């Protein structure tokens, strides 16, 4: 891991992988901003706050509150990395939380050097049809697999459009969290180690972009996530729904890299 201290914002850090990642980052000496859905949920991160973490609050199923989360993060200063961990397993809120929120936070948080989007092996079963979705969450038009296909494509689109940022997707595996269930077969520690490594490490492999990672190794995602036409269609749908577009990127100099 990098000997330098970084500042990392972790969404959905009141439990599961997000909380585990936040705790590991604090143990390594990094500055951490945790996120809870509401003030009552801050109780779940009391231990992390007592150890020096800062907190932001907002319901990521609500675009207005999501923009409020971005404002809170920006008031705390520039982050070195953002881990887009928050997710729900299904229902009408699967698109607002799993896709719209990371899109809005990406667009509105002052651009960090590293972005990590939590995917799933289930993205391979998703439907590449962003035009047929109700992004508002009024109706359940998408599955969990659909949402993870979209957020993986978002990670690849950001890698393409923002060459000054390391943008990657991580499949944490089927791990024993509240969402995964107690019988999940994968190792919880391995589930968050990769995202922590991508957020902080000076390892040359961690300083790359456009990767799909599983347990510290690059893997090939569904081929469609690399399709620029699909990426652009997804970004256009999200921009149409939110009224917010991603700002253009710039090519970094050797000194910036």
3-state secondary structure of 187: coil
Token pair 């036409």: residue? 229
Total count of residues recorded for the chain:
257
Q: Determine contact, residues 135/99, Cβ cutoff 8 Å.
A: yes
* C-alpha to C-alpha distance for 214 and 169, rounded to whole angstroms: 9
Active site residues: 144, 148
C-alpha dihedral, 123 to 93 to 191 to 79, nearest 10°: 110
CA quadruple 146, 215, 162, 84: dihedral positive or negative?
Answer: positive
d(C-alpha 94, C-alpha 99), whole Å: 8
- Who contacts 200 (Cβ-Cβ below 8 Å, separation ≥6)? 1, 2, 6, 8, 25, 28, 30, 80, 81, 206
Task: Name, in order, each residue with C-beta under 8 angstroms of 152's C-beta and a sequence gap of 6 or more.
Answer: 117, 119, 123, 169, 212, 221, 222, 225
């Amino acid at each position: 891991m990098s000997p330098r201290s970084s500042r990392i914002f972790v969404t959905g850090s009141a439990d599961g992988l997000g909380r585990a990642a936040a705790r590991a980052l604090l143990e390594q000496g990094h500055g951490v901003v945790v996120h809870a859905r509401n003030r009552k949920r801050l109780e779940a991160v009391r231990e992390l706050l007592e150890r020096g973490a800062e907190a932001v609050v907002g319901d990521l199923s609500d675009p207005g509150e999501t923009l409020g989360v971005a404002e809170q993060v920006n008031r705390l200063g520039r982050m070195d990395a953002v881990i887009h961990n928050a997710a729900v397993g299904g229902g009408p809120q699967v698109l607002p939380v799993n896709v719209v929120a990371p899109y809005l936070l990406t667009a509105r948080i002052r651009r960090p050097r590293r972005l990590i989007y939590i995917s799933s092996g289930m993205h391979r079963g998703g439907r590449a049809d962003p035009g047929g979705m109700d992004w508002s969450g009024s109706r359940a038009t998408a599955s969990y697999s659909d949402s993870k296909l979209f957020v993986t494509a978002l990670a690849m689109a950001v890698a393409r459009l923002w060459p000054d940022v390391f943008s990657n997707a991580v499949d944490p595996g089927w791990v024993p969290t509240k969402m995964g269930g107690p019988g999940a077969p994968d190792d919880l520690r391995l589930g968050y180690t990769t995202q922590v490594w991508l957020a902080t490490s000076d390892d040359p492999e961690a300083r790359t972009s456009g990767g799909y990672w599983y347990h510290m190794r690059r893997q090939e995602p569904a081929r469609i996530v690399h399709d620029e036409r699909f990426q652009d269609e997804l970004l256009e749908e999200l921009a149409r729904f939110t009224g917010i577009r991603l700002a253009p990127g710039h090519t970094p100099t050797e000194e910036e890299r």
